Structure 1
Amino acid sequence: MRTVLGVAGGIAAYKACHVIRRLRELGHSVKVVPTASALNFVGAATFEALSSQTVTTDVFDEIDSVNHVRIGQEAELVIIAPATANTLAKLAAGIADDLLTATVLTTTAEVVVAPAMHTEMWQNAATVANIATLKQRGIHVLEPAVGRLTGPDSGPGRLPEPDTIVDFSLAAAANAHTSAVASAGTGRLHGKHLVISAGGTREPLDPVRYLGNRSSGKQGVALARAAARAGAHVDLVAANIDSGLLSDLPDSVRITTVESTLELQTQMHASQADADAVIMAAAVADYRPAERTDSKMKKSGDEGMTLQLIQNPDVLVGLVESRRQPQIIIGFAAETGDSHHSALDYAKAKFRRKGVDLLVFNNVSGDRAFGQDDNAVQILTADGDDVVAGTEIHGSKDDVSEKVIEALADRVECVESTP
């Protein structure tokens, strides 16, 4: 994707370097367009070295190619991080007195701004009004984080971390495409209803502690985006997922949040009733504490702690048992191998045991998959009595999701064509 990264003049400009690096790692080209003030914090040479593209701030540079118009016309996504109060005011007023503001005024791509400034500036009535104006015009605003600012000050106004900026921005671009597909009434799953679980369940021990797992929910959220792009209406049951991942999903995705396995089970069965397909991508805890205390458990000297755990219900098997035909159910299996069997062997056994139509298997040996932006999976299906594993699909979690949704669409079309 051809991405323009605008950088305004604030102390947080250094984080733009990490945004460039992450975007390029994900395969996107990055054209950096700083303001003149931004170059007081990070030099043009640094931006050029990281982006492998020339950097300029002046609308009178490269006049022969009409550069101040061309950059905006060619952009597929524009990100401004950090976006200062001054830059936000210019954008709201339609001022184009430098290369960055001219680029925003000429582009038809999605525009994301990540404001960063002192708390008093962020809460000033002028900034509040400018943000409201930008949102009304369709510009995506990533709310600033709360934390340490310049000097001794602390509060709302801190630039979010680079990974959060990248995730939010790419989701905004993907969802714009989703909306275009939906408005055109196209997509292989147009009009279908999908229920997708995502994230990792947590089993509370007391008001402070819980038993959990390392799932970030990125893969399940990516599946929801891909299903929406295919035209489906999606119920996403989100277990303990960072709000930043959920904040820019399209309107065709309805989000319900849960915490524990029992809560997820209840919500999945409620949503399953009229669904055409169910994708169980959440990492569900196999066990929960036999008892939960109402107050925080205290340490007692140097003694250890013994917990009694009881087994949680198998949510996926329950969904298979209660489904109505021809509902399609897809499970996920995160497996590791051992001295007895390979990870794939365990995944094939799970496929037989669960009774699903498709099983998406990923090998998580050596901390693979969890919390990462890329993934590698195989889709398992039945061929008579045999379990067949497709070729490995490797790429970003959005790329993997597209392949899973394509496999689901193939299955839907096959079922609908069968007399």
Structure 2
Amino acid sequence: MLTGRRIVLGVTGGIAAYRAAELVRWYVKAGAEVQVVMTDAARQFVTPLTFQTLSGNPVHYELFNLIQERDIGHIALADRAELLVVAPATANLVGKVAGGLADDLLTTTILATRAPVLLAPAMNSNMWANPLYQQNQARLAAAGFHFVDPVVGLLACGWEGQGKMAEPATIFEESVRLLSPQDLAGETLLITAGPTREELDPVRFLSNYSSGKMGYAIARAARRRGARVLLVSGPTALEPPAGVEYCGVTSAEQMRQAVLERLAESSVIVKAAAVADYRPASRAGQKIKKGVGSRTTLELEQTPDILAELGGKKAQRLLVGFAAETEQVLEHARRKLEAKNLDLIVANDVSAADAGFEVDTNRVTLLYRGGRVEEWLLLDKLAVAHRLLDRIRALRRGEPLPEPGCAGQ
């Protein structure tokens, strides 16, 4: 996803400097070319050899190294960068940049670059809360700098509070967003994901095998492309993507209420959740006991049809549904498209080993209002998400769609 993109990573002097090594691994794994710039203080915590080994490039830290300056230097670093990240960013570094100071290789590179600059502060919680620091950060934010704020946690000083550097995965996610085309800016996507659970008694429930991976991939991709994302999710083992507005629910009725509460804010609705079609007609207040040789009949009733309800309320919104089927996939999907007033439905055979609920790949067919059909071959779910968002963007803007047919690899 970052193949060939050029990132300059600045590392300053704080205990969180060791976590910058993990961030380098994230960038390199995604295909980026990483140049690391270290301050003198950073080298007291981590050796340059660590970053050179992980990045595959020499580490830069001397402002007046004539041999190095001839080849790369702070101006060449600044010009080459497509994104400049500082992690960790100390209060000292933020203060110097806010004051326009440039007294080492990192600060001169920051002031010379025209690339976006992303800062991940890390410091003692009192330093973080200090009005002088907050003024410095606000000044930089107003000037167009980007921040991933620290989180609450146990700090190196023994205190617990806000000041711990954000997780490398979170910084990476924001980096990808800053390097992605913001072609969904201005859109608010309401996305549902995962299964629902319908309780039988206090310890048992009816559910399905949905992992939430497809819905979460769509949420992640949409956030990277500039959309505001409202993610309503049933129970999953997944971490919500950084930057999305997350609402966790359990039952179909809870999902319905959460979706309707957010409906007015949305411009696009993507219903990727596998909502249970049935629930017990009554819930036992205590655990149902098993008798020797006994048989039990379970009476079920239908859950609310959220997608059909949205189809009657969509107004100018774009409504996208999913059809997880095991047989007659296109026939069932086409009926669902028409019956629920959808603009587009994504159909797939979840009985396939490589395209079911719990795997990272999918093979889907898109059916549009008006009869258009697109069949996509096997792709990873994030690739499916981006391709689906391409179609959503085109429909929202009235742009022509690609020629229908098979696509994928």
TM-score normalised over the length of structure 2:
0.71
Query: How big is the shift at 1:166?
Result: 0.9
Equivalent residue number for residue 333 of structure 2: 351
> Equivalent residue of 1:178, what SS?
coil
Match for residue 12 of structure 1 among 11, 16, 29: 16
Letter of the aligned partner of 1:392 in structure 2? Answer: L
CA shift, 1:211, in A, is 9.1
- Counterpart in the other structure of 2:93: 87
Q: 1 or 2, which has the higher helix percentage?
A: 1
CA drift of 1:242 comes to 6.4
d(CA) in 1 for partners of 2:354 and 2:156?
36
Q: In the alignment, residue 171 of structure 1 is paired with which amino acid?
A: R
Instruction: Note if contact 2:120-2:150 (Cα within 8 Å) is conserved in structure 1.
Output: yes
Which of 194, 197, 210 is equivalent to 2:191? 197
Two-structure CA RMSD over aligned residues (Å): 4.6
Residues 351 and 380 in structure 1, CA contact (< 8 A), matched pair in contact too? no
**Contact residue 198 and residue 282 of structure 1 kept, 8 A:** yes
User: Does the CA contact (< 8 Å) of 1:221 and 1:246 recur in 2?
Assistant: no
2:366 to 373, 377, 380: 380
TM-superposed deviation, 1:55: 0.6
In 2 relative to 1, CA 72–370 (structure 1 residues): closer, same or farther, beyond 3 Å?
farther
Given candidates 306, 313, 329, the residue that maps to 1:315 is 306
Query: 2: CA distance between counterparts of 1:91 and 1:387?
Result: 53
Aligned to 1:391: 377
2:86, 2:120 within 8 Å by CA — same for their partners in 1? Answer: yes
Contact 2:216 2:241 in 1 (8 A): no
1:68 is aligned, of 44, 57, 74, to: 74
TM-score, length-scaled by structure 1: 0.70
Instruction: Give the % identical residues.
Output: 34
Q: Distance in 1 between matches of 2:115 and 2:305?
A: 44
2:400 matched to 1:407?
no
- The C-alpha deviation readout for 1:26-65, integer Å capped at 9, x for no partner, is 2222211122222222221211111111111112232224
**Length, aligned pairs only:** 373
2:346 paired residue number: 360
**Pairwise CA distance, 1:392:** 3.1
The structure whose Rg is larger is 2
State how far apart, in whole Å, the 1-side matches of 2:14 and 2:265 are. 51
Among 321, 325, 331, which residue is 2:321 paired with?
331
Which runs of 5 or more residues in structure 2 are unaligned? 289-295, 402-409
Cα distance in 2 for residues equivalent to 1:19 and 1:199: 28
Unaligned runs of 5+ in 1: 183-190, 229-233, 248-254, 301-305, 336-340
Alignment check: 8 A CA contact 1:85 1:121 kept: yes
Partner of 2:134: 128
TM-superposed CA distance for 1:328, in Å, is 5.4
SS at 1:11 equivalent: coil
User: Quick check: 2:190–2:232 contact (8 Å CA) kept in 1?
Assistant: no
Residue in 2 that maps onto 1:143: 149
Report if aligned partners of 1:218, 1:245 keep a CA contact under 8 Å in 2. Answer: no
1:239 partnered with 2:259? no
Does the CA-based 8 Å contact 2:196-2:274 persist in structure 1? no
The verdict on how the C-alpha distance between 1:159 and 1:41 changes in structure 2, with shifts beyond 3 A counting, is same
